[in-house]
Structure 1
Amino acid sequence: MTNAPILHDPTLFSVWAEVDPKNLRDAAQHLGDVMPLPLPQIYQLVKQAASQGRKVQLTSTRPYRDALKLTGELPNGFIEGTAVVAEETADPIVSAWCVKHHCYFSHGCSVCEGDYL
């Protein structure tokens, strides 16, 4: 047996943004391409998020720098300037915010800790 460190999966990130209430169709189409949900359920999710001004998850399983880049390249159907990065285990509605790295986290910022891709 060796004294090698225990390997674990580094943290990956997701991108969240607010739905454009004037462009629900494009938002639903984008989410339909990335979510394994029936289309009627996606339309319901989009409509509810837009009416509440709530963010929805656009992408997941991204390295930190890729997620940051995507916040400036939102697909049609989402409001520019509302995108945020969150660790995969974090939800922008209830998670803490790292001011230094501009991301939401659930148990300490993985970027601060150096445990991320």
Structure 2
Amino acid sequence: MKALVAVLSLTLVFFLYHISADTLAPDSLTQRCCPNCTRTHIPKGKVTNVVMTHSACRLKAVVVTTVCNYEICVDGNWTWAKNLLADFEKAAAKKKSPSAPFNRLPCSKGSKKSVSLL
């Protein structure tokens, strides 16, 4: 009886692992690449998300999403962009909501200085 329970438990664990791995795969296929990059400083308070483009992309870029929902492609080789990505990942790893210093300023739709580059 113990052997049957062990086999069923292992089968369940394997099945759950297989399902969770399948749900992650399509996300990597939907990664977008940047057609061009900029070297524009974006205030941390206006940043809601920071990610690196997929390794298959032609340009190495850091995609910064702002509070106004703009996605800006920043040169991935630029030290400022690397530091921004590292700071954002550090804040996320500490399980903080990226509120300090990230995502603390309101969207000011009237002053559109940022343009979506994606």
Which bin holds the TM-score, normalised by the shorter protein? Answer: under 0.3
Instruction: Kindly indicate whether structure 1 or structure 2 has the higher relative contact order, using CA contacts under 8 Å at least 6 residues apart.
Output: 1
* TM-score scaled by length of structure 2: 0.22
Q: Name the TM-score, length of structure 1 as normaliser.
A: 0.22
